[in-house]
Amino acid sequence: MTKTSAGNFFEDFRLGQTIRHPTPRTLTAGDVALYTGLFGSRFAVQSSSAFAKAIGYRDAPIDDLLVFHVVFGKSVPDISRNAVANLGYAGGQFLAPVYPGDTLTAVSEVIGLKENSSRKTGVVYVRTRGIKQDGTPVLEYVRWVMVQKRDPAAAPPADHVPRLPTAVDVKLLGAGCPALNVRAYDFDLAGSPYRFAGYQAGEKIDHVAGITVEEAEHQIATRLYQNTAQIHFDQFSAAQSRFNRRLIYGGHAISLARALSFNGLANAFHIAAINGGRHVAPLFAGMTVFAWSEVLAVSELPGRDDVGALRLRTVATKDRPCPDFPYKDGDEYDPAVILDLDYWALIPR
């Protein structure tokens, strides 16, 4: 009897199944520093405890995406160890600020299953929640992944494809952001004069700069999240795969694009929700990531006059600057596009 886990295969999942994921994780100022070193993010609220406290946070909150990656990482050994592809995200909500010293755990519920026609794989839909040491939920999101079957002949579960929202309702966006004293928000120090009212639906913003990714960087990042997906770390096995090399964790491109988006969105300091996301093409070490964003919508938040919400589509590319906003030609993505992310960010009014 082996004590090593080979992870779950498609036929191991059951609708309604709940999985508590191993390895609780205390996030600290150390994680924050390493995240800064890996992505160079410059949003003032997360960068400065003095700035964050002045506007109403208890301390500088931990970057929303670092929280996302840590929660996601916990789910990997149970959910996507045998994944062929990470197909999409929906309904992501950031529910409470996370501070250094908080310990996170994660739980997933299987909310959908559908075998593919090949019978070799199936799609698993899970809703994953990240929870603090005191039981406070800090994040939830749905993702769906294509998972291998151990045995193609195994009887599949009945198909069930969940209905997923195309966007998170604006009524749900404020939970992760305390009431802010916007008069104490120093726009000079934050790096831009543009507030909520300065953005309009349809506006496109080129984030200008590019960042090249090295193998050591994405490996350190992904291990920091305790994400165990082998394809990110094991060049010996990757050399025999279709790409011949390690595949960079999709979340790495999200964090790079978010850090680049500071130039144009400096005050959109908090990711409140992830409406949807797609890793359009793989990213490999040595490539340079660029990004641009479109404001899909702007919305006030019910009952709040401190912050408003921008619905943003941030598109990341590889080895392709974005002054002309590359995206799709009909239904086909531009070949340089690697990420298509739809999210709500909060910004002072």
| Residue ranges in 218-237 that form contacts with a second copy under rule CB under 8 A | 219-224, 226-228, 230, 233-237
Q: How far is CA 134 from CA 66, 96, 104, 138, 233, in A?
A: 19, 12, 10, 11, 33
**Which of 51, 68, 144, 269: binder of a second copy (CB under 8 A)?**
51
Total number of residues that touch a second copy (CB under 8 A) = 82
Stretches 146-154, 174-182, 209-217, 273-281: which one binds a second copy (CB under 8 A)?
A: 209-217
- Does residue 321 touch a second copy according to CB under 8 A? yes
- Does residue 214 touch a second copy according to CB under 8 A? yes
**Which of 8, 13, 44, 75: binder of a second copy (CB under 8 A)?**
44
Stretches 43-51, 118-126, 176-184, 338-346: which one binds a second copy (CB under 8 A)?
A: 43-51
Q: Are 339 and 315 in contact (CB under 8 A)?
A: yes
Neighbouring CB atoms inside 10 A of 234's CB total: 12
Looking at residues 9 to 28 of the shown chain, list those that interact with a second copy (rule: CB under 8 A). 20, 22-26, 28
In the complex, minimum distance from the CB of residue 151 to a second copy, in angstroms, rounded to a whole number: 19
Q: How far apart are CA 309 and CA 298, in angstroms?
A: 6
Burial 67-91 (b: 16+ CB within 10 A, else e): bbbbbbbbbbbbbbbbbeebebbbb
Which residues make beta-bridge pairs with 218? none
Tokens of 149: 């079957």
- H or E element, residue 85: strand 83-94
- Does residue 103 touch a second copy according to CB under 8 A? yes
Looking at residues 121 to 160 of the shown chain, list those that interact with a second copy (rule: CB under 8 A). 133
Nearer to a second copy, 117 or 240 (CB): 240
Spell out the residues 6+ positions from residue 172 whose beta carbon is closer than 8 angstroms to its own: 93, 273
Stretches 9-17, 150-158, 166-174, 216-224: which one binds a second copy (CB under 8 A)?
A: 216-224
